[in-house]
């Protein structure tokens, strides 16, 4: 019987789900037909207080940022998170028990911080020795709830995140630095950018790819409008994700630059390959995909707290710039249009940070933990 790997994620934004999918692909590539891989949205049936936040996450990020920031920073403390966990434990206990009962596994891999205490505790209540691995999906300034001592192993994307884990008492030998998990075939698909340019009838002008994450969050619409009406010698591709309102509003625009507008798409690698510059919010997945594509990055927005460190990571490396207003974005585009050498330096810096095999490296770690479990584990 195949050993089973359960990958836990939550639909608070698209990054956790994408990370889990990338890891699953990595396992399938390296160990074909070896494992039964199950992806589980562990937040699909949580108690009301937790569900109320997870379901309204885009609303908090888009329309209540000050409150979201206050909540993030108020809870971003090791002692406070322990106290908060003690409050939430009675609410999450039944959900965690149900996840373990319905999804027995030889290894649990979490891609969301809300599982970090509840699943290990559920396993201990049943005296189950299944390893629990947590994958941190924030590049630098992740919430302290990521850095748990309950996990058997902690996988982090950067050395900065590793330092944070150690500060929060995670033993060094339990930490691996692999990069942010992105699809293993991403780099291969990026090279199809030339064909994508032809399909979209894009010419030789600078192509700007504007993305607001899977949910089209942040200042996507106002930034797209400013670029579209600028009359600059460039062409614009906008991906609105699931934000149908923004897509429809932009479709009524009479742009002064060639513009292509999409909703949720499955060809981000090809679109990045077709682009010369990416303008995006500071989501870790998109940033690391842009590194693989070797794209200079303009960050126009960041979720308070968790994505603020991502901005510093990009800017300090020289891979991009922070432009928190549409006018700042336009100014930067004008500078790069006038100075191709500066644009090329940012492109090179971005490419140096690429870790296209991150999901494969994580797959190797998961495989190592799966192999130490006895074959009878799944028969419980």
Strand-pair category, 35-41 with 3-9? parallel
Structure-block tokens of residue 369: 């933990």
Q: For the residues 272-277, what does the mean pLDDT come to?
A: 97
Is CATH 3.40.50.720 correct for 3-183+357-379? Answer: no
pLDDT at 316 over 80: yes
Domains in the chain: boundaries:
3-183+357-379, 186-352
- For residue 192, the 8-state DSSP code is T
Mention the CATH class of domain 186-352: alpha beta
44-58, 103-117, 148-162, 249-263: which has the minimum mean pLDDT?
44-58
**Do the domains spanning 3-183+357-379 and 186-352 agree at the CATH topology level?**
yes
The more confident residue out of 23 and 14 is 23
At residue 207, φ and ψ (nearest 5 deg) are -105, 120
In this structure, of 210-214, 261-265, 337-341, the range with the lowest mean pLDDT score is: 210-214
The stretch 155-178 carries a mean pLDDT of: 94
Given this model, what pLDDT does residue 32 score? 94
Q: Where are the alpha helices (DSSP H) in 186-263?
A: 186-190, 193-199, 220-228, 244-251
**pTM here?**
0.86
Cα 126 to chain centroid, rounded: 32
Provide the pLDDT for residue 52. Answer: 46
Judged by average pLDDT, the poorest of 47-56, 58-67, 225-234, 298-307 is: 47-56
Q: Scanning the structure block, which residue is given the tokens 């403390």? A: 77
């Amino acid at each position: 019987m195949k050993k089973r790997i359960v990958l836990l994620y939550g639909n608070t934004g698209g990054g956790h789900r994408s990370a889990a999918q990338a890891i699953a692909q990595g396992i399938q590539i390296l160990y074909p037909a070896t494992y039964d891989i199950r992806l589980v949205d562990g937040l699909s049936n949580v108690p009301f207080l937790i569900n109320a936040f997870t379901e309204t996450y885009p609303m908090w990020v888009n329309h209540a940022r000050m409150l979201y920031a206050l909540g993030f920073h108020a809870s971003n403390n090791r002692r406070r998170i322990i106290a908060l966990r003690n409050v939430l434990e009675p609410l999450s206990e039944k959900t965690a028990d149900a996840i373990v009962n319905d999804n027995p596994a030889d290894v649990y891999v979490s891609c969301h911080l809300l599982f970090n205490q509840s699943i290990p505790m559920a396993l201990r209540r049943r005296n189950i020795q299944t390893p629990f691995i947590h994958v941190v999906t924030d590049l630098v300034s992740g919430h302290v709830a990521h850095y748990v001592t309950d996990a058997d192993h902690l996988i982090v994307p950067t050395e900065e995140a590793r330092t944070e884990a150690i500060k929060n008492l995670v033993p060094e030998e339990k930490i691996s630095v692999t990069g942010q998990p992105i699809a293993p075939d991403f780099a291969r698909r990026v090279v199809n950018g030339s064909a994508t340019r032809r399909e979209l009838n894009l010419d030789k002008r600078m192509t700007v790819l504007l993305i607001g994450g899977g949910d089209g969050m942040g200042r996507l619409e106002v930034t797209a409008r400013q670029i579209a009406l600028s009359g600059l010698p460039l062409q614009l591709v906008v991906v609105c994700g699931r934000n149908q309102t923004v897509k429809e509003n932009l479709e009524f625009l009479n742009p002064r630059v060639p513009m292509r507008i999409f909703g949720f798409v499955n060809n981000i690698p090809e679109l990045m390959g077709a682009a010369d510059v990416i303008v995006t919010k500071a989501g870790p997945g998109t940033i690391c995909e842009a590194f693989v594509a070797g794209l200079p990055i303009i960050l126009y927005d960041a979720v308070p707290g968790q994505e603020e460190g991502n901005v510093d990571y990009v800017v300090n490396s020289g891979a991009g710039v922070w432009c928190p207003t549409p006018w700042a974005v336009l100014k930067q585009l004008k500078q790069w249009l006038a100075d191709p050498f500066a644009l090329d330096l940012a492109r090179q810096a971005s490419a140096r940070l690429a870790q296209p095999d991150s999901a494969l490296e994580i797959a190797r770690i998961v495989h190592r933990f799966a192999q130490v479990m006895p074959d009878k584990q799944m028969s419980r």
